[in-house]
C-alpha cells in the first residue's frame, strides 16, 4: 500500500549526536532523503556544498526567504539557516521520508505549517553537560571560541525539549539508533500516513456486506 512520507525533525544542542544519528538512519534506510539546509555560515573542513549544506551569501539567503522558497528559517549562532521548500512536498507525496537536522525554531515553524500532520519530531538530550562539552571537543571541528559559543547556547536549545513528540537521551549510540528506528517504523504506520487505508476499508466493507 502507498504511504505518505514523514518530515522527520531531529533537534538537539550542538554536539549531542544529530549528524551521527542522521547518518546511521540513512544507512539503515537509504530511501530517507536529507533536507539540505541553506546557510550563510562558512563551510567547515570536509563539508561539501550541496551535500552537507548549500552555502549562500546573506543576500542570496534573504532572496530565497523573500521569494517564499523556505519552509522555515532561523538565525542561529549569528548565521542564517533555512530549509528549502522545493524538495520536501514532492518527496512526501511520493512516499519518501525527509530528515531535517534543524533547531527548535525551525521545528516549531514546520510544526505550524500546512505539513504539520506529517511531522515526526524527535529531540536528543545529552547524558550530561560535561559529556556534551567532551563530544564537541573530541569532534575536533570547532575552535575553542566556537565551542564556548555552542555551549552557551546549549541550554536555550535544551529548554525546548518538551515541544517534541519524542525525546531520547543519547547515551549509548547503538541503543539510541535502535530507538530511533523503532520510532520511525511505528510512525510510518500512523493512520494519516496511509492514504490508501480508506480504500482497503471500503473493500472490506463491501466484502462484509456480501458475506452477511
Pick what 177 binds: ligand 5GP, ligand ADP, none; C-beta below 5 to 8 Å, kind-dependent: none
> Which ranges of 58-111 does DSSP label H, i.e. alpha helix?
58-66, 86-93, 104-111
| Residue 11 interacts with ligand ADP (CB under 6 A): yes or no | no
**Is residue 15 at the binding interface for ligand 5GP, with CB under 6 A as the rule?**
no
* Residue nearer to ligand ADP on the CB measure, 3 or 135: 135
CA–CA distance, 8 with 187 (Å, rounded to integer) = 10
Are the CB atoms for 36 and 84 separated by under 8 Å?
yes
Cα separation, 196 vs 99, in Å, equals: 23
Range 161-190, binding ligand ADP (CB under 6 A): 170, 172-173, 176
Binding-site size, ligand ADP (CB under 6 A): 15
Task: Give the position of cell 515541544.
Answer: 163
Q: Which of residues 66-105 bind ligand 5GP (CB under 6 A)?
A: 72, 74, 76-77, 81-83, 101-103, 105
How many Cβ atoms from other residues are within 10 Å of residue 16's Cβ? 27
Q: Is 15 in the site for ligand ADP (CB under 6 A)?
A: yes
16 makes contact with ligand ADP (CB under 6 A): yes
Closest listed residue to residue 11, CA positions, set 124, 160, 114: 124
- How far, in Å, CA of 21 to CA of 176, rounded? 8
Least distance (Å) between residue 163 CB and ligand ADP = 18
Binding partner at 72 among ligand ADP, ligand 5GP, none, C-beta below 5 to 8 Å by kind: ligand 5GP
Number of other CB atoms surrounding residue 146 within 10 Å: 14
Q: Which one among 5, 7, 9, 14 touches ligand 5GP, defined by CB under 6 A?
A: 14
Q: How many residues bind ligand 5GP (CB under 6 A)?
A: 15
Name which of ligand ADP, ligand 5GP, none residue 17 binds, using a CB cut-off of 5 to 8 Å depending on partner kind: ligand ADP
| Nearest Cα residue to 9 out of 189, 164, 157, 183 | 164
Residues found near ligand ADP in the complex (CB under 6 A): 12, 14-20, 135, 138-139, 170, 172-173, 176
Amino acid at each position: 500500500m502507498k504511504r505518505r512520507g514523514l518530515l522527520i525533525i531531529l533537534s538537539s544542542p550542538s554536539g549531542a549526536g544529530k549528524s551521527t544519528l542522521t547518518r546511521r538512519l540513512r544507512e539503515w534506510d537509504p530511501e530517507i532523503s536529507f533536507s539540505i539546509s541553506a546557510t550563510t555560515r562558512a563551510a567547515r573542513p570536509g563539508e561539501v556544498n550541496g551535500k552537507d549544506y548549500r552555502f549562500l551569501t546573506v543576500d542570496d539567503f534573504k532572496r530565497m526567504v523573500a521569494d517564499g522558497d523556505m519552509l522555515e528559517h532561523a538565525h542561529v549562532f549569528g548565521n542564517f539557516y533555512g530549509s528549502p521548500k522545493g524538495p520536501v512536498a514532492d518527496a512526501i507525496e511520493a512516499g519518501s521520508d525527509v530528515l531535517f537536522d534543524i533547531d527548535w525554531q525551525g521545528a516549531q515553524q514546520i510544526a505550524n505549517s500546512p505539513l504539520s500532520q506529517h511531522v515526526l519530531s524527535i529531540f536528543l538530550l545529552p547524558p550530561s553537560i560535561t559529556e556534551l562539552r567532551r563530544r564537541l571537543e573530541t569532534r575536533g571541528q570547532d575552535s575553542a571560541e566556537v565551542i564556548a559559543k555552542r555551549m552557551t547556547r546549549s541550554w536555550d536549545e535544551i529548554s525546548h525539549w518538551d515541544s517534541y513528540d519524542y525525546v531520547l537521551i543519547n547515551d549509548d549510540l547503538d541503543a539510541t539508533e535502535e530507538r530511533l528506528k523503532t520510532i520511525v517504523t511505528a510512525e510510518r504506520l500512523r493512520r494519516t500516513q496511509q492514504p490508501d487505508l480508506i480504500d482497503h476499508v471500503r473493500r472490506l466493507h463491501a466484502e462484509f456486506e456480501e458475506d452477511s
